[in-house]
Amino acid sequence: MTVDLDRAYWLGLLISVVLPILVGLVTTRVTHAGTKAVLLLALTALNGFVIELANPGPGWDAGTAAVLALVSFATAVLAHFGLWKPTGVSGRAQDALVTARAPRGV
């Protein structure tokens, strides 16, 4: 299956904007910020490498994949701090799937 190059880039950009919400869904409020950042970095790196893999060109280029991963990470961080966090979407995402329970009444 081949994907039009423009579509692959736009899809990768859209995924980069949504990835901070995904990280919020699979982590809790008490998860260390560094852990969340590493998880976001890993997911955006995967996104960049998959976009390059979907490229219908002659072959896979590691340099292009690395650049796409960096752009994906920058976009995800900017989307988190510029869009999701100020609007409260990040907090609601972390409240949606509660994986750590608060201690019972004291």
Average pLDDT, the chain: 83
Does residue 54 lie within any of the structural domains?
Answer: yes
Structure tokens at 71: 């752009």
Residue 102 lies in a domain: no
Residue 39: is it exposed, middle or buried by C-beta count within 10 angstroms (0-12/13-18/19+)?
middle
pLDDT digits over 68-104, tens only?
899 999 999 999 899 888 898 888 888 887 655 655 6
**Domain membership of residue 57 as a residue range:** 9-95
Residue 40 lies in a domain: yes
Tokens 């979407």 belong to residue: 89
Distances (CA, A) of 82 to 25, 28, 57, 73, 99: 18, 20, 34, 14, 26
Domain count, the chain: 1
In-domain check, residue 103: no
Q: Does residue 13 lie in a domain region? A: yes
Q: Report if residue 2 sits inside a domain.
A: no
In order, the DSSP letters of 60-91 are --HHHHHHHHHHHHHHHHHHIIIIIHHHTHHH
In a domain, 3, yes or no: no
